[in-house]
Amino acid sequence: MGPTLVKTFLQRTFSSLRGPARTLGALHFVDSLGNGLFMAGSAVYFVTVAGLPATVVGLGLSLAGLSGFVASLVLGRMTDKAGARRLLAVLLFLLAGSYALYPAVHSPALYFPVVVLIGALEYGCGPAFGTLIAELVPDGERVTARAALRSLFNAGFSVGALTAAALISAGRDVLSLLPLGNGLTFLAAAVMVLKLPAGDARTAAADGGGKPFRVLRDLPFLGVIGSSSLLALHSAVLLAGIPLWIVRNTALPRGLVPLILAVNTVLVVLFQVAAARGSESLDGSVRAARKSGLVSVLACAALAAATLTGSWVTGAITLGAVLLFTLAELWQSASGFGLGFGLAPEHARGEYLGAFHLHMVIQATLGPALVALLVIGHGFTGWLALAALFLAGTAAIGPSVARARRNLPTPSKEPAQAPEQTAHPEPQPQTTA
């Protein structure tokens, strides 16, 4: 890619990040560096530096994911009460301090409380970050900006992961600095949040005297979350399903696994913004979600067929399925941005964005186990069963959104379009992806 192409790509991808949104991009990139750094090396760190059994580490990470269910709702409501800018800064400062506790962790008794606290804080950043985007970016550009931020996150995450690989190879003493490095990135991100204009962020939401956690009584909106959770299973397939299937059920070389993840990450960086084009409206978001589901069904069918073929054919089909699932990820993420912003009423934006974020929490905590159970234990029929789940999500997303949008206040039924649209160029678990 020559200099001219690089310049054109950067302009098209990040043109929506102007003014305060540019600061959001910078802090998101710094945040992703730390996440990639720690997540790529955390398993090795906990076992070799902290001296914890692998089973304890796995259980702790699962508990951290479960804490996201509560944190997304509670901190989403707190976003509406305290203001997104203020709360996000506090959460990032707390995360920086929490990661500084890891060097003292050498037993399960200390590990479990710290990892659960960090999990809750990380998932809790999502609603505040999403609300800040809604406050700092014009209506018609929010989906594009969110897509650009996700592209940035994946780029930073990759750089952080490569740095972690270098630290691991440098030995135990250097590896012990891993959590402190991540803590520093959260500290830097918190400082950047404080530089955002206070006047553009709400300091308190107009609650209107409503009952707390009204979103849990909004059954149509919960239906959208459920449908989106099924469509978001592509992430579990790419991170757990296909890698485990390759290792356990095929004769393919294990070196194919990191190649799969690398290809996926690069494509998301390059094409997430382009894939978000058309998802600014609720109707466009539904179309993107349906395309994502149908492509996932096709990928599952291809992998089911791959169980009946020879080695080199299986390998070719698997790479093709990875490309299809990546395309599904691009469209599903774009639809999630549009649905989250479009269905969240302004007076309870943080609460609704926090609840919508649950579709990512669900797939991150339950998705890997479900996908692994299906594809490893049942092969051909397992892939077809997974295709049926994607098909169910595809069929349900349209009616779910139609019911949910009827509950919106009349002026907010459709996100306003900017007078002039910019070109659309669009992150696990991730903190604010």
Decide: pTM greater than 0.75.
yes
Check: CB of residue 292 under 8 Å from CB of residue 324: no
Number of H helices and E strands in the chain, helices first, is 17, 0
* Of 197, 206, 307, 211, nearest in space to 250 by CA: 307
Lowest average pLDDT, out of 83-87, 307-311, 317-321, goes to: 307-311
Q: How confident is the model at residue 411 (pLDDT cuts 50, 70, 90)?
A: low
Number of domains comprising the chain: 2
* The pLDDT of residue 283: 94
Residue 8 resides in a domain: no
Q: What is the mean pLDDT of residues 118-135?
A: 91
Based on the domain organization, do 160 and 242 belong to the same domain?
A: no
Based on the domain organization, do 145 and 233 belong to the same domain?
A: no
Lowest average pLDDT, out of 56-65, 90-99, 247-256, goes to: 247-256
Based on the domain organization, do 41 and 181 belong to the same domain?
A: yes
* The pLDDT of residue 9: 67
Based on the domain organization, do 226 and 136 belong to the same domain?
A: no
Q: What is the mean pLDDT of residues 308-313?
A: 81
Lowest average pLDDT, out of 112-116, 304-308, 344-348, 429-433, goes to: 429-433
* The pLDDT of residue 432: 43
Check: CB of residue 118 under 8 Å from CB of residue 64: yes
* The pLDDT of residue 302: 95
Residue of 78 and 11 predicted with greater confidence: 78
Q: What is the mean pLDDT of residues 398-427?
A: 60
Residue 34 resides in a domain: yes
Residue of 202 and 374 predicted with greater confidence: 374
Based on the domain organization, do 194 and 220 belong to the same domain?
A: no
* Of 252, 274, 228, nearest in space to 321 by CA: 252
Residue 194 resides in a domain: yes
Contacts (Cβ under 8 Å, ≥6 apart) of 152: 14, 25, 28, 29, 32
For residue 425, CA distances in Å to 12, 30, 34, 49, 312 come to: 5, 20, 24, 41, 35
* The pLDDT of residue 398: 96
Based on the domain organization, do 198 and 218 belong to the same domain?
A: no
Instruction: Give the DSSP per-residue string, 394-431.
Output: HHHHHHHHHHHHTTS-GGGSSPPPPSSPPP-------S
Residue 159 has pLDDT above 60, yes or no: yes
Q: What is the mean pLDDT of residues 167-172?
A: 79
* The pLDDT of residue 423: 35
Q: How confident is the model at residue 2 (pLDDT cuts 50, 70, 90)?
A: low
- CATH number of the domain to which 251 belongs: 1.20.1250.20
Given 204, 237, 259, the domain boundary residue is 204
Q: Which domain range does residue 166 map to?
A: 17-204
Mean pLDDT rounded to a whole number for the chain: 85
* The pLDDT of residue 430: 42
Residue 433 resides in a domain: no
Residue 200 has pLDDT above 70, yes or no: no
Based on the domain organization, do 200 and 221 belong to the same domain?
A: no
How would you classify residue 278: left for phi > 0, otherwise alpha for psi between -120 and 50, otherwise beta? Answer: left
Q: What is the pLDDT of residues 376-406, one digit of tens each?
A: 878 889 999 999 999 999 999 999 999 999 8
* The pLDDT of residue 188: 94
Residue 431 resides in a domain: no
Residue 166 has pLDDT above 90, yes or no: no
Check: CB of residue 398 under 8 Å from CB of residue 269: no
Q: What is the mean pLDDT of residues 258-280?
A: 88
* Of 211, 137, 178, 141, nearest in space to 41 by CA: 178
Given 204, 223, 249, the domain boundary residue is 204
Structure tokens at 109: 């008794």
Q: How confident is the model at residue 422 (pLDDT cuts 50, 70, 90)?
A: very low
Residue 244 resides in a domain: yes
* The pLDDT of residue 199: 45
Based on the domain organization, do 259 and 397 belong to the same domain?
A: yes
Residue 304 has pLDDT above 90, yes or no: yes
Based on the domain organization, do 124 and 270 belong to the same domain?
A: no
CB atoms within 10 A of CB 175: 18
* The pLDDT of residue 369: 85
Residue 209 has pLDDT above 50, yes or no: no
Given 204, 236, 254, the domain boundary residue is 204
DSSP secondary structure code for residue 211 in this structure: P
Based on the domain organization, do 163 and 290 belong to the same domain?
A: no
Residue 57 resides in a domain: yes
Q: What is the pLDDT of residues 73-126, one digit of tens each?
A: 999 999 988 889 999 999 999 999 999 999 999 999 999 999 999 999 999 899
Residue 266 resides in a domain: yes
Based on the domain organization, do 261 and 144 belong to the same domain?
A: no
Q: What is the mean pLDDT of residues 131-141?
A: 87
Structure tokens at 222: 């919960």
Based on the domain organization, do 169 and 234 belong to the same domain?
A: no
* The pLDDT of residue 1: 55
